[in-house]
Structure 1
Amino acid sequence: MAKVCVFCGCTPLTKEHVLPRWLKVALDPTVRQHRYIRLSVDAVRHHEAPPLNEQVKSVCSNCNSGWMNQLEENVRHFLPDLIRGNPCTLDAEAQRALAAWSLKTMLMFQHTHPADARGVIPASDFASFHVTREPTRSMLGRLGFMNYPPDDSVPLVDTLCQGYSADGVRSTGWITTLKIGCMVVQTIRAPDVAEGKRLTPFEPLPSLRPIWPTDAPIKWPLPAAIPYELMSALAHPDDLDLTIMPT
């Protein structure tokens, strides 16, 4: 358990729901609401729990009720439609909001694990997110579509986090993947990109669209679904195959 806020270093700490309870409007009550988590640092770990009950005590009251709450409000009007696969359109503002919210959510998922199981996402990324409240130029984000789980054979909520290292330096990059219902959101963190440079955005695909940096409006649902069997390959590529471009 954190002793000070993982974002700003202040106290006192308050409990934060990792997934907001208002998301229950988007979750099918006939599907057992569980989740499967795999956190990759030096080992693979598994954990299951009701998806809307998970809380962490790692943020202060000012962060929790202030800017973090605002990130929730920024996605509240369209996030249930993404999860259920209902038709909607994401403009640039909505894409930025989704990229920020999903990053905040995956940072909180890190703290559902014991302290010795963390380390994929370094403290410096928590601190920079507190300042900018959005992904950095060393990050890419993309949104994917997956068919809503037909039954308990496919997790309703699935989170995966993969760390990468190079030249003996640990945690030089990472990928987080969050799936809730039909929605799959990824944040890809490369080693620090120099000033005046930026990662080359992903090419749009029938089942995946870039959302950070923002791209053209996205009509949801996407025309093709990612088979759940490809979830692990999508979330755990062998390396960070990224290129850098001038800003």
Structure 2
Amino acid sequence: MDHATADVLYGFGMAKVCVFCGGTPLTKEHVLPRWLKVALDPRVQRHRYIRLSVDAVRHHDAPPLNEQVKVVCSDCNSGWMNQLEENVRYFLPDLIRGNLCTLDAEAQRALAAWSLKTMLMFQHTHPADARGVIPAGDFTSFHETCEPTRSMLGRLGFMNYPPDDAVPLVDTQCQGYSADGVRRTAWITTLKIGCMVVQIIRAPDVAAGKRLAPFDFLPSLRPIWPTNELIEWPLPAAIPYEMMPALAHPDDLDLTIVPA
């Protein structure tokens, strides 16, 4: 299915076909897997959904593992999407709780793919009129490769585990950007669960023979897509939660395109 057809079929209203492949029947998908219960402190329950833009903030407080969407078909749900869950199951709880672990390149690729899948599902926890930051074509592209594209960067950040409900346990935010008068040609999504903060940054399409320059290493942030460097977790510095808006909603993406 081409991207233009996907935009017409999905329309970001109530999906009638799978947002990834256009298949049916649709099934319910937990946005966050129930098995993550082992990583979450039951005393901390506050959950904030996607912030669509700096001017439109939607809050919803609910148990973080209860959220479901019905926008994917049974083949996608039980097939490649389930495999993405299995690929991170052995290390994701350690990231969330800030436990010692090491992420090699394979684990980082798995984390980037799972995070992108989860962020795309969070888009559909909103009413139809509040969606559209991430276009339908990016759902289709993800289904084709099951990983971020060369027009994307990913990075992993560290925050201290929330001491109480004053800081959301789960915080997901998404910001669209415009270029050359075309709306939403780029976007940035940020997913925080406990200590783990993952960002996926989508630039306007990068031409063949080019690539995005990875982010620099920082004490509180490490690149995970693309990357070949080991990550020792937890990182040596924590991002204050008060910095979340600046992290998730920079004024511009400030990305550099270099030869591949």
TM over 0.5: yes
What SS class does the counterpart of residue 59 from structure 1 fall into?
strand
CA distance in 2, matches of 1:47, 1:58: 21
Pair 204,18 (structure 1): closer, same or farther in 2 beyond 3 Å: same
Structure 2 unpaired stretches of 5+: 1-13
Q: In the alignment, what sits opposite 2:6? A: none
Cα displacement (A) at 1:240: 1.3
Residue among 215, 227, 245 paired with 1:202:
215
| Per-residue Cα deviation, 1:41-91 (whole angstroms, up to 9, x for no partner) | 584131322210000000000000000000000000000000000000000
Whether contact under 8 Å (1:106, 1:178) holds in the other structure is yes
CA distance in 1, matches of 2:27, 2:231: 36
Residue among 10, 17, 23 paired with 1:10:
23
CA distance in 2, matches of 1:177, 1:136: 17
Residue 39, structure 1, aligned to residue 56, structure 2: no
Q: In the alignment, what sits opposite 2:197? A: 184
CA distance in 2, matches of 1:34, 1:215: 35
TM-score (ref. length: structure 2): 0.93
Percent sequence identity over aligned pairs: 83
Q: In the alignment, what sits opposite 2:131? A: 118
Q: In the alignment, what sits opposite 1:24? A: 37
CA distance in 1, matches of 2:39, 2:63: 15
Cα displacement (A) at 1:191: 0.2
Residue among 112, 120, 123 paired with 1:99:
112
Whether contact under 8 Å (1:145, 1:222) holds in the other structure is yes
| Per-residue Cα deviation, 1:120-179 (whole angstroms, up to 9, x for no partner) | 000110000000100000000000000000111100000000000122201110000000
Q: In the alignment, what sits opposite 1:213? A: 226
What SS class does the counterpart of residue 128 from structure 1 fall into?
helix
Runs of 4+, deviation exceeding 6 Å = none
Letter in 1 for 2:80: W
Q: In the alignment, what sits opposite 2:8? A: none
Q: In the alignment, what sits opposite 2:176? A: 163
Cα displacement (A) at 1:39: 2.8
Size of the aligned set, in residue pairs, is 246
Superposition CA RMSD, Å: 1.0
Structure 1 unpaired stretches of 5+: none
Letter in 2 for 1:19: L
What SS class does the counterpart of residue 58 from structure 2 fall into?
strand
Q: In the alignment, what sits opposite 2:162? A: 149
CA distance in 1, matches of 2:234, 2:251: 28
Whether contact under 8 Å (2:151, 2:211) holds in the other structure is yes
Residue 233, structure 1, aligned to residue 246, structure 2: yes
Match runs of 1:46-61 below 5 Å = 46-48=58-60, 49-61=62-74
What SS class does the counterpart of residue 22 from structure 2 fall into?
coil
Whether contact under 8 Å (2:157, 2:221) holds in the other structure is yes
CA distance in 2, matches of 1:40, 1:53: 21
Residue among 80, 91, 94 paired with 1:78:
91
